[in-house]
Amino acid sequence: MDEKASGLASPLTVLRGVGPALAKTLTRLDLHRVGDLLFLLPLRYEDRTTLHHIGSVRPGMRCLISGEVLLAETVYRGRRSMLVRISDGSGQLTLRFFYFSRQQQTQFATGAKVSCYGDVRPGPVGLEMVHPEYRVLRENQEPAVTDTLTPVYPMTEGVQQGRLRNLVGQALAMMKESPPAELLPTEILDELELPTLTEALAYLHTPPPDTDLASIEAGRHPCQVRLSFEELLAHYMSLRHLRNLARKESAMSLPGGPVLQRNFIDSLPYKLTNAQNRVVAEIGSDLQVPHPMMRLIQGDVGSGKTVVAAAACAQAVAGGVQAAVMAPTELLAEQHWTSFCDWFKDLGVELAWLSGSQKKADRQASLEAIGSGRAGIVVGTHALFQEGVNFSNLALVIIDEQHRFGVHQRLALRDKGASGGVHPHQLVMTATPIPRTLAMAAYADLDTSIIDELPPGRQAVKTIALPDTRRNEVIERVRDACAEGQQAYWVCPLIDESEVLDYQAAEASYEMLTESLDALSVGLVHGRMKNTARDKVMRAFKSGDIDVLVATTVIEVGVDVPNASLMIIENSERMGLSQLHQLRGRVGRGRDQSHCVMLYKQPLGQLAKSRLGVLRETNDGFVVAQRDLELRGPGELLGTKQTGLPEYRIANLTRDADLMPAVQKAAENIQKNHATAEFPIVARWLGNAHHYGKV
């Protein structure tokens, strides 16, 4: 929060009833200052605006009642419980407690008056409430009926709802006395028809009884949109700030030798597509500027991103500097290494390989080639940014499958090339196409290039979904394809059988297929295998010595076997769209028509039907990604658990993606006409976290 003058920035201990111990407990809810309580929005609301007669309540109602204790007893009918019978003259109801103290037993004396709130359900002897919220009333005290809906807040051990409501109430009173600054310009609020910050916060903590709860549950109430909008704006401006800082930093200008890059492109056994040529040109222009390039390449599976990255490396090496290519898995890094060695073998460029599994002597040789500058291009895994790896003149950093790396990992490699105030250019790639609105939110610090064209000759993969009861038919289809000289993948989500998850495990499938396809060679790869053993199997599959490769999703990225034309995916109903699309992209790389068979376990839920239906209808990764965003959310699509992208407190990228064009427009307005508001908006929502990308 930024409200220093108002007291909202004061520590929680200024509130009544908050000592050091409670203040420490509240940090688990990310509550540190008074103002933080205002942004702890309710999870839901309860209607305690009406006191119901006991005689009028029905099972399934959640309501407020009040009555006089007729009887309180502890019973041992299968399970120890305390039963409290109450009446208000219109009817009777039982309060049932399974967990209770001696003090509670004494509270419910005959004749005592209580008010209760809870769920009404049928019981053995009439209606009852199990563990309701209750209050024993003093003599002549009336039940507390509220004027507004009652908020239910996120909980943590050691803090009850009543305590949280009291603390939020104190914060709201302080806000009323001294409102926080309204940082959004009036013209933006008017254009979007949004309430002020103070109005939105007050409404969401104390909504009137006639509130449209459906719109609040959907997260689309104007007061919620008001807060989500400002939070998205803060994150967007923070990322744009990083981009502007990068533009002020220095980088080596790399006009490159067009001869080396042209020789590289001319030596390829195929012509680049128009989309690839366009992106090569965009990168080439960036590299010539004396400020760090920060560019994201998006391209569908098989669109040829790696060769574009290699062309960028050729431009860098021609300028006498080093380029580093980092991949998230050894399997993918090795494939890049093989491709780069093949592409540059006749062009006089020395390459170095670096990974965690290297032998000591090989690693030492690589480190020496990297440190001396002899190696112009370095390919590897996250081992590239570990201690002891010193580049001579790193000027270009390329990161594949960027969403699988943390922001800190990406920046650690970038910092390897920072010397004397000069930073390397950055190029990041993803084969997970990202919908435009989501890219605006997650990658606002990057320029974006899209390779939206597949190489000529590549046919769309034909995709079908079948129940696993037809597995034997699929096995025969595999047998026929291999008899014609083709190869097949058989992908399973788990390695071993699981009692908890009824997945078709890879090892069980391997045994089944080995027995069923006794005339064929069947191989197995999974994440628990040693790299050497896995690589041996992969090489055998690539060379054609293995007909059918049974694998876990370890082969999601990084395997290029043009002769493989059939992909079978077990338990496809339990995978995300983007992951299924990635797996499907392992076939369709050769001349033969390729097929993907998604086996599913019946009965198929509506969500799974929608997901598999999308894959049957389209091979367009951007369409797949948009549907994946709608069905599963951005955390899965972007891998935010890995990326280190900050969590949103109120906004939801799936729900609020449609706000991003307005967020972008508002950011431009603020930076141009209200520059003094930019930092306070970012600080209100991110605090010091707006430096996360620079750490």
Residue of 657, 665, 615, 689 lying closest to 225 (CA atoms) = 657
DSSP-based three-state secondary structure for 485: coil
Q: What pLDDT, on the 0 to 100 scale, is given for residue 526?
A: 84
The amino acid occupying position 15 is L
- 181, 184, 186, 187 alpha-carbon torsion, rounded to 10°: 170
Instruction: Count CB-CB contacts under 10 A for residue 656.
Output: 22
CB 329 within 8 A of CB 558: yes
Is residue 349 within 8 A of residue 317, CB to CB? The reply is yes
Q: State how far the Cα of 591 lies from the Cα of 563, in Å rounded to an integer.
A: 8
pLDDT (0 to 100) of residue 692: 37
432 contacts 578 by C-beta, under 8 angstroms = yes
190: CB partners within 8 A, 6+ apart: none
Amino acid (1-letter code) at residue 679 = F
Strand-pair category, 126-130 with 113-123: antiparallel
State both tokens at 102: 């001696």
Tell me if the bond preceding 603 is cis, omega within 30° of 0: yes
| Residue 695 pLDDT | 32
Q: Look up residue 467 and give its two tokens.
A: 């129940």
User: Strand pairing of 79-87 and 126-130?
Assistant: unpaired
Judge contact between 654 and 629, C-beta under 8 A: yes
pLDDT of amino acid 646: 52
Burial 239-252 (b: 16+ CB within 10 A, else e): bbbbbeebeeeebb
Distance CA 606, CA 604 (A): 7
Token readout for 28 is 């688990």
pLDDT tens per residue, range 436-461: 777 777 777 788 898 988 777 777 89
For 265-326, the three-class secondary structure string (H helix, E strand, C coil) is HHHCCCCCCHHHHHHHHHHHHHHCCCCCCEEEEEECCCCCHHHHHHHHHHHHHHCCCEEEEE
Tell me, what's the pLDDT at 693?
39
Q: Give the closest residue to 555 by CA, choosing from 563, 543, 567.
A: 567
210 Cα distance to chain centroid: 35
pLDDT number for residue 569: 94
pLDDT recorded at residue 247: 80
Please report the pLDDT score of residue 367 as a whole number: 95
- Identify the CA nearest to 281 among candidates 246, 311, 316, 318: 311
CA distance 642 to 644: 6
Per-residue confidence (pLDDT) for residue 642, from 0 to 100: 38
Q: Which domains does the chain have, with CATH numbers?
A: 4-45+153-211 (no CATH), 50-145 (2.40.50.140), 258-451 (3.40.50.300), 462-618 (3.40.50.300)
- Cβ burial 340-352 (10 Å sphere, 16+ → b, else e): beebbeeeebebb
Q: How far apart are CA 447 and CA 430, in angstroms?
A: 13
* SS3 at position 66: strand
Q: What's the pLDDT at 516?
A: 94
Tokens of 217: 């549950």
Which stretches in the chain have pLDDT values below 50? 1-2, 4-5, 639-645, 689-695
Helix (H, G, I), strand (E, B) or coil at 649: coil
Residue 322 and residue 378 in contact, taking contact as beta carbons nearer than 8 Å: yes
Q: What is the pLDDT of residues 564-593, one digit of tens each?
A: 999 999 988 888 787 888 888 888 877 789
pTM of the predicted model, to two decimals?
0.72
**Phi and psi, residue 628, nearest 5°:** -65, -40
- Distance separating alpha carbons of residues 536 and 580, to the nearest angstrom: 25
User: Distance between the two ends of the chain, CA-based, in angstroms?
Assistant: 21
Can you tell me the distance from the alpha carbon of 498 to that of 82, in angstroms, rounded to the nearest whole number? 41
